Amino acid sequence: MFQILVVCMGNICRSPMAQSVLQADVARRGLAHAVQVDSAGTYAGHQGEKPDRRAIALAKGRGYAQIEKLRARRVREDDFERFDLILVMDDLNMDRMRFACPREHQHKLHLFLEYAGVEGLREVPDPYRGNAQDFERVLTLCEQGSEGVLNRVVSALG
């Protein structure tokens, strides 16, 4: 089983939206037997909480109802060994992940958009303090990136 972890700061906006999109695309492609997706944050302040209500409403509106079942959690030490691919939403959280990640697992860390092959942006912007359009932009980036991520995973799986 190939396991993907998506990481942002609080695990209530970007990473649960990306997880929901990736899970839906995994199911659509018939890959549920081979690929699992989870998400986490570098900050523990929202641990156990549902995703942001704006993220839930938008994701459900676009057909990603599984977002309601997700609960925020912080990245754990064993995540670096457990996951095959760790996709981080921005440079700040990438720095935090690089600092926490053992040397032998550093190769698993990638920025989500760069790994996904989305041109013109390095980071998925944090919509938390923004408006509805900011959340829409993030979900669109997650949708655009999901195909590229899964194409690379399928290629790696052979």
| DSSP, residue by residue, 3-34 | EEEEEESSSSSHHHHHHHHHHHHHHHTT-TTT
Catalytic residue among 25, 38, 79, 126: 126
Catalytic residue among 8, 13, 101, 142: 8
User: Known catalytic residue: 25?
Assistant: no
User: Known catalytic residue: 8?
Assistant: yes
Closest CA to 4 of 83, 82, 94: 83
Catalytic residue among 14, 54, 73, 96: 14
CB atoms within 10 A of CB 36: 17
Q: Decide: helix, strand or coil at residue 42.
A: coil
Closest CA to 22 of 128, 148, 114, 126: 148
User: Known catalytic residue: 126?
Assistant: yes
Count Cβ atoms within 10 A of the Cβ of residue 4 and give its class: 0-12 exposed, 13-18 middle, 19 or more buried: buried
| Residues labelled catalytic | 8, 14, 126
